[in-house]
């Protein structure tokens, strides 16, 4: 019945707004940051800030115009920025994984006193960009070659050769793994050598191949032979397992050890430009 007793068949209209109970839970964040899981994650993430420092370092190189020519192309801010963007897209967890791989490369190369050492990080479910891989490479400055007069261009010639080798690694990797279309390459000098301990330098390149031509395939094969890289008889494949929230029952000495190692391998030192 409507008001006034007039019959009506209009159905009750639903209310435009509904009331919901709002409850604020206090103390959950405080409990989380005091938990064993949070402590374990904080310790594990300590090494990931190496990746942040590299991003900052490459950004300074872009703004300072200290990059070298790649593929006969003058340094370009837009081109270099792509590499930094790929790096910045990575999550805190995957930055930890990448930093551990890079720090492990530096440590192993120093232990075996290898003049050239490289590591490839193929994409996993943790990557920010599917179809993208990373190439880390260390190349020591050839001091003996310089003494014999075989390096007339000095450090600039060495750095150009290092970038060419890094580009070759990326090209060969993409050629042999067609499921990939982007390779981000990072090259460093050997910090344990006299020349590297002076400050050194670092390079960042991005190579993207969406379709292959016969000439590109031939160039990749030539680069593999010329630089003697990514040979199957010398490759060592390894699986890496990590969890975002590792066991927090670690000793504080492990955290101090990581910080000491991070300081030792820290690329944020006075640079040769």
Q: Is there a domain that residue 146 lies in?
A: yes
How far are the Cα atoms of 124, 149, 189, 200, 203 from residue 194, in angstroms, in the given order?
Answer: 37, 18, 11, 10, 19
Q: How far apart are CA 178 and CA 184, in angstroms?
A: 15
Q: Is there a domain that residue 20 lies in?
A: no
Pinpoint the alpha helices (H) of 177-205: 194-197
Angle between helix 92-112 and 49-64 (nearest 10)? 90
269 pLDDT more than 60: no
Structure tokens at 152: 């007339």
Output the pLDDT for position 252. Answer: 47
Rounded to 5°, angle at Cα 88 from 171 and 107: 65
Helix and strand numbers, DSSP H then E, in the chain: 10, 4
pLDDT digits (tens, 9 = 90+) for 208-263: 999 999 999 999 999 999 999 999 888 888 777 778 777 654 444 455 555 555 55
Largest CA distance in the chain: 112
Q: Is there a domain that residue 242 lies in?
A: no
pLDDT digits (tens, 9 = 90+) for 17-68: 455 555 545 667 677 677 777 778 888 899 999 999 999 989 888 777 666 5
Contacts of 135 (CB under 8 A, 6+ apart): 118, 119, 120, 121, 166, 169, 170, 173, 183, 184, 185, 186
Residues present in the chain in total: 273
Give the DSSP letter string of 66-98.
----BTTB---HHHHHHHHHHHHHS-HHHHHHH
Q: Is there a domain that residue 117 lies in?
A: yes
Q: Is there a domain that residue 87 lies in?
A: yes
Whole-angstrom distance between the N-terminal and C-terminal Cα of the chain?
88
Q: Are 110 and 102 in contact (CB under 8 A)?
A: no
Q: Is there a domain that residue 171 lies in?
A: yes
Output the pLDDT for position 101. Answer: 94
- Separation of CA 233 from chain center: 26
Angle between helix 214-227 and 154-176 (nearest 10)? 130
Output the pLDDT for position 79. Answer: 67
Rounded to 5°, angle at Cα 73 from 67 and 76: 50
Structural domain containing residue 194: 38-234+254-264
Contacts of 263 (CB under 8 A, 6+ apart): none
Q: Are 53 and 266 in contact (CB under 8 A)?
A: yes
pLDDT digits (tens, 9 = 90+) for 89-119: 999 999 999 999 999 999 998 898 888 999 9
Contacts of 25 (CB under 8 A, 6+ apart): none
Classify residue 240 as left (phi > 0), alpha (psi -120 to 50) or beta: beta
- Our count of domains for the chain comes to 1
Q: Is there a domain that residue 183 lies in?
A: yes
Q: Is there a domain that residue 220 lies in?
A: yes
Indicate the Cα dihedral angle 165, 168, 169, 174, nearest 10°.
Answer: 170
């Amino acid at each position: 019945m409507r008001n006034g007793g007039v019959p009506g068949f209009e159905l009750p209209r639903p209310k435009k707004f509904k009331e919901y109970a709002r409850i604020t839970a206090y103390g959950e964040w405080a409990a989380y940051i005091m938990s064993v899981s949070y402590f374990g994650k904080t310790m594990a993430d300590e090494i990931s800030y190496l990746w942040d420092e590299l991003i900052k370092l490459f950004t300074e190189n872009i703004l300072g115009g200290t990059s070298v020519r790649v593929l006969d192309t003058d340094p370009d801010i837009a081109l270099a920025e792509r590499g930094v963007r790929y790096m910045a897209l990575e999550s805190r967890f995957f930055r930890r994984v990448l930093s551990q791989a890079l720090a492990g490369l530096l440590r192993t190369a120093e232990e075996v006193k290898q003049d050239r050492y490289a590591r490839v990080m193929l994409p996993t479910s943790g990557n920010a960009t599917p179809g993208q891989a990373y190439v880390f490479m260390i190349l020591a400055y050839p001091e003996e070659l310089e003494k014999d007069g075989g390096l007339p261009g000095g450090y600039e010639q060495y750095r150009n050769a290092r970038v060419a080798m890094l580009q070759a690694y990326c090209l060969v990797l993409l050629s042999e793994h067609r499921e990939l279309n982007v390779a981000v390459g990072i090259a460093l000098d050997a910090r344990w050598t006299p020349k590297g301990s002076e400050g050194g330098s670092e390079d960042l390149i991005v190579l993207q191949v969406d379709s292959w031509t016969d000439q590109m395939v031939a160039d990749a094969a030539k680069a593999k032979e010329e630089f003697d890289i990514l040979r199957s008889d010398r490759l060592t494949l390894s699986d890496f397992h990590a969890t975002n929230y590792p066991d927090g029952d670690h000793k504080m000495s492990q955290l101090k050890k990581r910080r000491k190692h991070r300081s030792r391998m820290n690329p944020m030192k006075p640079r040769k430009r």
